[in-house]
Chain A
Amino acid sequence: DARVTQTPRHKVTEMGQEVTMRCQPILGHNTVFWYRQTMMQGLELLAYFRNRAPLDDSGMPKDRFSAEMPDATLATLKIQPSEPRDSAVYFCASGLEPGVPQHFGDGTRLSIL
Chain B
Amino acid sequence: QQQVKQSPQSLIVQKGGISIINCAYENTAFDYFPWYQQFPGKGPALLIAIRPDVSEKKEGRFTISFNKSAKQFSLHIMDSQPGDSATYFCAASYSSNTGKLIFGQGTTLQVKP
Q: Which residues of A contact B (CB under 8 A)?
A: 4, 31, 33, 42-43, 45, 48, 50, 55-56, 91, 93, 95, 97-107
- Verify if B45 is at the interface (C-beta below 8 Å from A): yes
| CB-CB nearest in chain A for B32 | A99
Task: Return the 3 tightest CB-CB contacts between A and B, nearest first.
Answer: A99-B95, A98-B99, A104-B43
Q: Decide if the interface of chain A is mainly helix, strand, loop or mixed.
A: strand
A48 engages B46 (CB within 8 Å): no
- Count B-side interface residues using an 8 Å CB cutoff: 25
Distance, CA A71 to CA B46, complexed state (A):
26
Q: Which residues of B contact A (CB under 8 A)?
A: 31-32, 34, 36, 41-46, 49, 89, 93-101, 103-106
- Which A residues are CB-close (under 8 A) to B106? 42-43
Contact A56-B34, Cβ < 8 Å, known A42-B105, A103-B46: no
